[in-house]
Amino acid sequence: MNIITHTTPPYYAVIFTSIKTDSKNYFTVANAVLEEAKKQDGFLGVESVRDEIGISVSYWKDLSSIEAWKNNTLHKNAQQFAKEFYSHFRVRVCKVEKEYGF
């Protein structure tokens, strides 16, 4: 996991919530997708947890960076496995206007 720090809002968060199946290929593909995302212009970081429900929040500089990631070839190929990997998923895109913490 890569927790973003010292990022000044505004920026964007893509929230991916899911319920995973028992697919054996999941972690291989998920790790490849994460490594590819880290290479993308505008990628700021990711926070992720998985228990009964998985929640991954990726952070992006702007909407055009998110759109470029959505259209990335490796990412698009991985999306073809959605029905194998998840019994349910939802994607939400949000603008982060304020943050605080320690």
pLDDT over 70 percentage in the chain: 94
Give the chain's residues under pLDDT 50: none
Distances 35 to 10, 25, 32, 99, 100 between C-alpha atoms, Å: 24, 16, 5, 26, 27
CATH number at 11-96: 3.30.70.100
Count of beta carbons in the 10 Å neighbourhood of residue 101: 4
Q: pLDDT value at position 75?
A: 95
Four-residue CA torsion sign, 1, 40, 67, 21: negative
34 touches 19 (CB < 8 A): no
Domain ranges in the chain? 11-96
Is the whole-model pTM more than 0.85? yes
Question: 52 exposed, middle or buried (CB, 10 Å; 0-12, 13-18, 19+)?
Answer: exposed
